Structures are given as C-alpha cells and as structure tokens.
Structure 1
Amino acid sequence: MSTVLISNYHSAPKSIQEEAKKALSFYPELDSVEIDIRFKKEIKKSTMQAQPQFWSLLKGKKGRRYVIFISKKIKITDSEFSTKLIPSHVIVGWLGHELGHICDYQNRSTFNLIRFGFKYLFSEKFIKEAERNADSFAIIHGMEDYIIATKNFILDNANIPDSYKNRIKRFYLSPEEIMLLIEERDQKLKTE
C-alpha cells in the first residue's frame, strides 16, 4: 500500500489521502506536528490507534511524532469489513477521533503521556475518559457530523454484533452527549 505525503508534516495511504486531508483540515494546530497515517494488518480490540512514536518521546512536546494505525480489515467480533468498503465520511470521522487523541497527547508532558499509556492498558474507567476526550476534541473542532456518522455506521449496522455496539455505547460519547457539547461549543462561540 503506497503512502503519500499530504503536507510537509503529514503522510497517509494513497487510498485514503482525501479523507486524511479532510480530517486534518479541522485541526490547524496540528499543521506542523508530524503525523504518519498507516495501514496495519491487525489492531487488537480497535479499528484505529493513535500513538506517539516511542523515540520521539525523548524530544519533548515540540519534537514528538505520531502514528495513526488503521486496521486493513476492520474485524468486529465475527464480522469483517474491508476499509475500502467503509463510506468516506465514516473514515473522516474515525480519523477525526484519532486526531483528537493526538491533540490530547500534545497537552501532556512525556511522563504524563507514558503514565497515560499504562492507565489505558489497565483501567476501563480511564479508557472511557480517554475516548470521550478524543470525541470531545473532534466535536470542539467542528467534526460532529463525521463523529455522528461514524457512530451511526456502527450502531445501525445489522452486521455488527451487539457486544461491539455496547462497547461503543459504554466508552464513547452518546449522540445526546454530542448534542450537548455542540450546544456548549456554539454558546461559547457566541460569547467570544
């Protein structure tokens, strides 16, 4: 799968370069942050995963590089979806969520980020907080239509088992919570 440079600091697989450009356009503060979007054969318990490149942690916040891994085939329990068959706006939403994680990571010290990784591995309460934060970043950045489309793709898809849908409901923002965040964001914008 060929990767293309989509800006001075960002690269993505050619097959989703337009979706990557679209998602990144909502995050101008990441314009000069190195982000490499790559396909990976398989990601356990996830579809996409954003993380700092390990050695870049030694360079401090300004020198960090990030990778967003995308599973080539999205396996949700017994159902499997090729990334090629997922609607474009859903891919943009998924990428927007992962970019929300990167915004969160950019606000953390190296030590805090390492601690974050360990907590994410061992605490469901922390996973819920981290995933809701990423959704919140995406919504604050104006990506609510894409985030809602991604959630609807999962929750309304008859081929996706209830166990996975329940995980999404448990860890991520609900459509009602998204609407509340949109109202808060819009009120804040009116007062500025």
Structure 2
Amino acid sequence: MLWGSIAGKANAQYSPETYPNEIYTQEKYASKIDSLRKLCGHRKKIPQEFELQTLLAISHYPDLYRARIQFIYRKKVQLPIAARPAMGFLDLFFRFRKGRQYKIVMRTNTPYMLNRTFDEQVGIIGHELAHIQFYRHCSSVGLFRVGFCYLTSRRYRWRFELDTDQRAIDFGFGHQLLRFPIYMYSRDIKAYMKTKGFLK
C-alpha cells in the first residue's frame, strides 16, 4: 500500500518507486479511508466531500501527518482554493513551527474543484499541501516576508507558485499535474519529472 510504504520512510518522498504513475479513483481507494485516517487524519478538519482526496494527498507528505490543517469554505475569496498559515497571535508567537495551524480556504461551490476528476482534485490539493510543507520550515518572520512579497510582487508570486508545483512533483504529484497543469506548462512538468526520475 502506498501509505504503508512511506509511514516509516520519511526520506523516500523523492523516489519514483514510492510514487508510481498512479491514477487515483474513488472506487479504488474508498475502502482504504479508515487506514488513511489512522495514518494521516489526526488533527485535520476536512469536509466529507473532499476527505478521501485530501487524505490521499497528505499521504505523500510524512511531515504533515500530524500537522493541524483545517478546510474553510468562504463565499468571497480571490482564489478558488489557497493554503495559508493561521496568523493568530498564538500561532505566530507561542507555538513552535510543528504546532502551527494551517488553513486551506476554498471558495464555496467553486467549479475549479467541483468540475475536476477525482485524480485532478488529489493533484490540486497536493499543490496546496506543498505550500504547507514549505510554510512548516519558515520562521514567523519568514512567513511575514513571504506574505508581503506574494501580495506586492507579481514576479515573486509567479516564481513562488512555480516552485510549489515543483515541490508537489518532488512529492509524487507530477502525473496529476500533467493531467491538470496548475502553474507550470505541461512541457516543463515533463522536463522536471525527467530530472527527478519520474519519467523516462
């Protein structure tokens, strides 16, 4: 099983053998949801309609198995889905990095998610989790710096998202991004996957 193979091998996330050319389907993985909840569902608040997709995506990120992650629906947000660290006083100044909370904010009834295949939804959530994987290693000052640059510089924002796509590929989502590219072009995804050994 995919999640069983990485439970004790946190350093295997870059291995093409760990993450093969997998097409996720609800039919194939619905019976595994209890195992996934046990592996990486702790401290998560996930809407039922995206629970399996999210757990499958989290299973690629051993660092996030016990991270505090909450999905939030909002009617009026700029992006259809976005991951961000919680910016409360406790989170920024009193919690260690491993104890921070993270939010995945999704626009209510957004076609961006609802009109995708199950596999594409896993890939989209995998991209957002790549943001959280990055945030986990930032100091509070670093988070402020990233947020400021993201909001004020279009060039920084584009580079940041391209780097996030690459990080998602590193953790095994290249085939999902090929089926539904988010920021990188398909040709660049293929080229990067080849450098990582995910494509021959």
TM over 0.5: yes
CA distance in 1, matches of 2:178, 2:84: 23
Aligned ranges for residues 17-36 of structure 1 at < 5 Å? 17-36=51-70
CA distance in 1, matches of 2:109, 2:166: 26
CA distance in 1, matches of 2:197, 2:112: 36
Alpha-carbon distance, 1:83 to partner: 4.0
Aligned ranges for residues 132-143 of structure 1 at < 5 Å? 132-143=162-173
Aligned length: 156
Match of 2:98 among 44, 52, 62: 62
Deviations 1:61-101 (A, max 9, x none): 12211001111233xxxxxx274343211211110110011
Deviations 1:90-149 (A, max 9, x none): 211110110011111112111011110011111001101110111111100011111222
Match of 1:114 among 125, 144, 168: 144
Q: Which has the higher contact order (CA 8 A, sep 6+)?
A: 2
CA distance in 2, matches of 1:129, 1:47: 19
* 8 A Cα contact 1:53 1:65, kept in partner: yes
* Aligned twin of 1:101: 131
CA distance in 2, matches of 1:110, 1:19: 30
What TM-score results when the alignment is normalised by the length of structure 1?
Answer: 0.75
What TM-score results when the alignment is normalised by the length of structure 2?
Answer: 0.72
CA distance in 1, matches of 2:120, 2:56: 12
Q: Does residue 51 of structure 2 align to residue 40 of structure 1? A: no
Question: Which runs of 5 or more structure 1 residues have no equivalent in the other structure?
Answer: 1-5, 75-80, 152-167, 188-192
* Aligned twin of 1:186: 197
**CA RMSD of superposed structures (Å):** 1.7
* 8 A Cα contact 1:49 1:68, kept in partner: yes
CA distance in 2, matches of 1:84, 1:28: 27
Question: Which consecutive segments of 4 or more residues in structure 1 shift more than 3 A?
Answer: 82-85
Q: Which amino acid aligns with 2:80?
A: T
* 8 A Cα contact 1:39 1:70, kept in partner: yes
Alpha-carbon distance, 1:13 to partner: 0.3
Match of 1:73 among 105, 109, 119: 109
CA distance in 2, matches of 1:180, 1:148: 11
